[in-house]
Amino acid sequence: MKRGPSVFFGLVLIVAAVWVTQAGPASAATCTGGEITGTGSVVVPSGATCTLSGVAINGNITVQPSATLNLVNSVVQGTLTAQNAEDVNVSGSFLRGMSITGARAGDDNVFSLCGNTVAGPVTISSVPSPAGVTFGAPASCAVNTVCGPFSARYNSAALTINGNTVTGAGTVVYNSNLQAFQGNTFGGLVTATGNSPTNGGLNTPNSAEARSVTCSEPSGSSSSPTFL
């Protein structure tokens, strides 16, 4: 009986299946309180509060609806994504990108983003009132450095964008409670239209100095996860 080829291909398929299983992506870690369970990218589950200081995360952070993230002096080798979150407070940290969309309905949410270095795009969109969003404000919130474009669109939250350095373009449009948009320096064009009560103050577009800025992670930091 000539079964050699069939047996051979069957073994190949079994080996391939085992390899795919072993090479598949690991489940995301979760953060509740001050502890992370697992490694790699981190998820803050809906309704939970994650408070971390001085950690390095080798992946993304996802803040699920109604969850809260407090992140201080940390390194994130991926993007922070928050959708319909309760509160997001990030300060003194390095990230590869940031996207905040919406907020938990009906709450006085706080989104405080101060003194961070973001080596990628930043987007803040559709955050409703009565929330408050602060992205740099020299008197009370350290300014941010962004290596990429910055966009704030369709927010009705009280929005302050003040004193930051952005290597790319700035797009601040159709925000119905723009409290301040001034003192920022951009490497590209600035578009500010359809906002109230102000379209912004004095910002600096097309700055060669801003374009020359680099966003590197803090010296001595490690991309290996270090969890509290």
Give the pairing of strands 35-37 and 29-32: antiparallel
Count the alpha carbons within 13 Å of 178 in the hemisphere toward its beta carbon: 27
Domain spans, the chain: 33-211
Give pLDDT, residue 14.
35
DSSP designation for 170: E
Our measurement of the distance from residue 34's CA atom to the centroid of its chain's CA atoms, rounded to an integer in Å, reads 19
Q: How far apart are the C-alpha atoms of 105 and 128, rounded to whole Å?
A: 8
Per-residue confidence (pLDDT) for residue 129, from 0 to 100: 94
* pLDDT at residue 11, rounded to an integer: 38
Query: Which H/E stretch holds residue 40?
Result: none
Give, in order, the Cα–Cα distances in Å from 122 to each of 4, 45, 116, 158: 58, 22, 11, 18
pLDDT at 3: 52
pLDDT by residue, tens only, the chain of 228 residues: 545 544 434 433 333 333 333 333 457 899 999 989 888 999 999 999 999 999 999 999 999 999 999 999 999 999 999 999 999 999 999 999 999 999 998 888 999 999 999 999 999 999 999 999 999 999 999 999 999 999 999 999 999 999 999 999 999 999 999 999 999 999 999 999 999 999 888 999 999 999 999 999 887 655 444 544
| pLDDT computed for residue 26 by the predictor | 55
Torsion sign over Cα 162, 168, 169, 174: negative
Q: Which residue has the tokens 């270095």?
A: 117
Report the candidate in 37, 51, 45 with the shortest Cα–Cα distance to residue 66.
45
Give the pTM.
Answer: 0.85
Determine the Cα–Cα distance for residues 21 and 29; give it in Å rounded to an integer: 19
The per-residue pLDDT for 225 is: 47
Question: Measured between alpha carbons, how far is 89 from 71 in angstroms, rounded to an integer?
Answer: 6
Which two tokens mark 160?
A: 């302050």
Between CA 49 and CA 218 the distance in angstroms is 26
